[in-house]
Chains A and B, each alone.
Chain A
């Protein structure tokens, strides 16, 4: 008797679970599907709730490519994000290695400084950073989009934590064989720390790819703009001439690269982002 009630209770619980999960799935996916289908519709049909377009047109995409240098912006974003991510992997793993495996005076104070910079709200350094770019003559150059991002405290903490778990014997063995610290880092630590490298790479790449405030501040030339910046300015400026389909086509093109990356590395994206909880 009691067994049957708990069983039917379990079925009921499961039904409620699926109902809620399905509801949120629709809430998450429907807007994206609606956006995608709107980009293939003529302007007059966009308000429709039906996600399947009646008449398919590529006019919206043609207009995006005609009005803004979006292919160039894609290349800019790719170049900036890839070079900054490569830099972050190299520099922060160097620092993480030094802070976890080498002994030198001031090591602990440097780590304290790293932790301090992590708690620093960006609002405080925003204006002086802009002034710095002006003084360096880096406005409207790739330098402004790459160099400030080359090191970040979060990546250092991830590497330091991960490198700590590598057994000391391995390092000693390498030292006896005459391996330098750079050799140890790149030939022993790196191959043993693939999960940490993936975490840092995904977080860094995503943050820089999606960053929009900083490019808006330091880049004014259309041909140097990153993709999110160009699309955002397209949305607020007069260039879209109030055409909804064209704006959504630009937004879809902006979403595409990250959605493709996400489709392939979904597990890594979620696991990496979960570690950002470390931040607090």
Chain B
């Protein structure tokens, strides 16, 4: 298929191969450096420098206009006594506690059905994936109007059924759950696809063996499907956690972080500190600690799920 032109007998081929090999190692060494040069330049400028600088900023007070002022651990001490920082953490926790279970149940159920050879399966998959590709700005503005107290479709629907109007975004208790529902609606399509990939990687003979033993569908689902899907579940947990800590545009457009800071997200708080109050040092400190928490939570989730399954 891919024999070099001119390589007729074995001897010439080996000799040529050897010659080409020695030349290519020399040239490939320098070519290798040339080819990765853009990466190294980009890495040093946009990853390494920001990392080091972020670490330095933790120890400074800086409004970006005047000179940086060394303040030691003042930013860290402030963070540890900052109720708003803990509020943002708790809000992210509320979001994840609703978003993750809801997401897994809906996505897994629909994925199990979509994994069977049903007619129209491609159509369903395409429709469920639509909210995933559309900009978060669109879905947020759309749900902002669906959630509207007096004119919103959701409340009109509820009141036409004789039920009361729900203060979706105006009550501090409901606002974050409402954002979590919306995020679930937007992301389910992606997780369905990930679950389908997971389901298709389960070897068929496991089910055949269970059939011989006369296992019920539910037993098969519980004892084969669920345990075999664990890597997918870990992936969904990790992606959702990262998503929860990255919430920005949803509260930015819908609530501005209110009412009473109930939807203030990690990134929105960093944004406010940096660009409303010009507290660059404190904003960098927040960024550093939020990143650290994401990192730890992700590792913890991986550990726990892996131990549960005995992997």
Contacts and interface: CB of A to CB of B under 8 A. Distances in A.
A49 B51 contact: no
Contacts, number: 286
Contacts of B43: 113, 117, 151
A172 B28 CA distance: 12
A47 B153 contact: yes
Given A21-B114, A121-B242, A127-B274, A235 B141 contact: yes
The number of chain B residues touching the other chain, given as a range, is 35 or more
Given A34-B153, A123-B245, A274-B194, A251 B141 contact: yes
Contacts of B66: none
A27 B130 CA distance: 12
A127 B54 contact: yes
Nearest to B32: A104
Nearest to B30: A104
B151 A46 contact: yes
Contacts of A114: 39
A262 B252 CA distance: 27
Contact of A17 (B40, B113, B160): B113
Contacts of B51: 120, 124-125, 128
A221 interface: no
A27 B185 contact: yes
Nearest to B144: A235
A126 B38 contact: no
Interface string B39-59: 110110111011101100100
Contacts of A14: 118
B132 to A, nearest CB: 7
A213 B130 contact: no
A55 to B, nearest CB: 17
B38 A277 contact: no
A3 B246 CA distance: 52
Contacts of A5: none
Nearest to B274: A127
Given A110-B39, A247-B145, A103 B25 contact: yes
Nearest to A127: B284
Contacts of A1: none
Interface in B150-208: 151-153, 156-157, 160, 185, 188-190, 193-194, 197
Contacts of B294: 121, 123
Select the residue from A119, A148, A251, A254 with max chain B CB neighbours within 10 A.
Answer: A251
A65 interface: no
A251 B138 contact: yes
B20 A122 contact: no
B290 A131 contact: no
Interface stretch (B96-104, B222-230, B231-239): B231-239
Contacts of A151: 38-39, 42-43
B191 to A, nearest CB: 10
Contact of A175 (B20, B136, B234): B20
A94 B35 contact: yes
B85 interface: no
Nearest to A152: B42
A179 to B, nearest CB: 11
A66 interface: no
A142 interface: no
Contacts of B189: 28
Nearest to B3: A169
A124 B54 contact: yes
B142 interface: yes
B31 A102 contact: yes
Given A120-B47, A126-B267, 11 more contacts: A25-B124, A122-B291, A123-B245, A128-B50, A131-B53, A167-B1, A180-B31, A255-B138, A266-B129, A270-B126, A273-B129
Interface of B: 1-6, 16-17, 20-21, 23-25, 27-36, 38-40, 42-43, 45-47, 49-51, 53-54, 57, 64, 106, 109-110, 113-114, 116, 118, 124-138, 141-146, 148, 151-153, 156-157, 160, 185, 188-190, 193-194, 197, 232, 234-235, 238-239, 242, 245-246, 248-249, 252-253, 256, 266-267, 270-271, 274-275, 280, 283-284, 286-288, 290-291, 294-295, 298
Interface of A: 14, 17-18, 20-21, 24-25, 27-29, 31-32, 34-35, 38, 46-49, 91, 94-95, 97-99, 101-105, 107, 110, 113-114, 117, 119-132, 134, 148, 150-151, 156, 167, 169-170, 172-173, 175-177, 180-181, 185, 206, 209-210, 212-213, 217, 228, 231-232, 235-236, 244, 247-248, 250-252, 254-255, 258-259, 262, 266, 269-270, 273-274, 276-277, 279-280
16 contacts: A24-B110, A28-B130, A48-B156, A95-B36, A98-B32, A127-B57, A132-B45, A167-B1, A170-B2, A176-B20, A235-B137, A235-B253, A248-B142, A254-B135, A259-B133, A277-B235
Instruction: List 8 A-B pairs, minimum CB-CB distance, nearest first.
Output: A104-B32, A128-B50, A124-B291, A98-B35, A121-B291, A125-B50, A102-B32, A173-B4
